C-alpha cells in the first residue's frame, strides 16, 4: 500500500511570510500532483510534476519533485490571505486510475 505523509498538518502564518509544505513517501510515483481546496468546495489541480528533480513555478508557488520521485515540496513566497486553504498532494503510479492522497496541510494566512 502506498502512503503519502504530509507535513505540517496545520500551518498558521502572517501575510508576507514564506512557507514550505512537504509530501513524503517510501514509494516511487510516476507523477505527483498538488491540489488546493477551499472549504465546501472540490479540490483544484495546481500542478503535476513528472520528472525526478523537476521544479515548477506558478507565480509565488514553487513545486519540486524529489530526485527519486518519492517526495515533493510546495514553497509559497510572501503568502497572502487568498492562499488560505487545504493543500493536498497526490501520487499516481500504483494501481491504475488510483491516486494516493496525503491527508493535507491546512494553511491559514492571517492579514
Partner 1 sequence: SQTIHQWPATLVQPVGSPLSLECTVEGTSNPNLYWYRQAAGRGLQLLFYSVGIGQISSEVPQNLSASRPQDRQFILSSKKLLLSDSGFYLCAWSVIGVFTGELFFGEGSRLTVL
The answer to whether residue 102 forms part of the interface with partner 1 (CB under 8 A) is yes
C-alpha 62/C-alpha 41 separation (Å) is 23
What is the per-residue binding string for partner 1 in 21-60, x denoting contact by CB under 8 A? ---------xxxx-x---xxxxxxx--x------------
Sign of CA dihedral 17, 76, 70, 101: positive
Asked if 111 interacts with partner 1 (CB under 8 A), we say no
Asked if 24 contacts 70 with a C-beta cutoff of 8 angstroms, the reply is yes
Does 85 bind partner 1 (CB under 8 A)? Our answer is no
Closer CB to partner 1, 18 or 64, in the complex: 64
Amino acid at each position: 500500500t502506498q502512503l503519502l505523509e504530509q507535513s505540517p498538518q496545520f500551518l498558521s502564518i502572517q501575510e508576507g511570510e514564506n512557507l514550505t509544505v512537504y509530501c513524503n513517501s517510501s514509494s516511487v510515483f510516476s507523477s505527483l500532483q498538488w491540489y488546493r481546496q477551499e472549504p465546501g468546495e472540490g479540490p483544484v489541480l495546481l500542478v503535476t510534476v513528472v520528472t525526478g528533480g523537476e521544479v515548477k513555478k506558478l507565480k509565488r508557488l514553487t513545486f519540486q519533485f524529489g530526485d527519486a520521485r518519492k517526495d515533493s515540496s510546495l514553497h509559497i513566497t510572501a503568502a497572502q490571505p487568498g492562499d488560505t486553504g487545504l493543500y493536498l498532494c497526490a501520487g499516481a503510479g500504483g494501481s491504475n486510475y488510483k491516486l494516493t492522497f496525503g491527508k493535507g496541510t491546512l494553511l491559514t494566512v492571517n492579514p
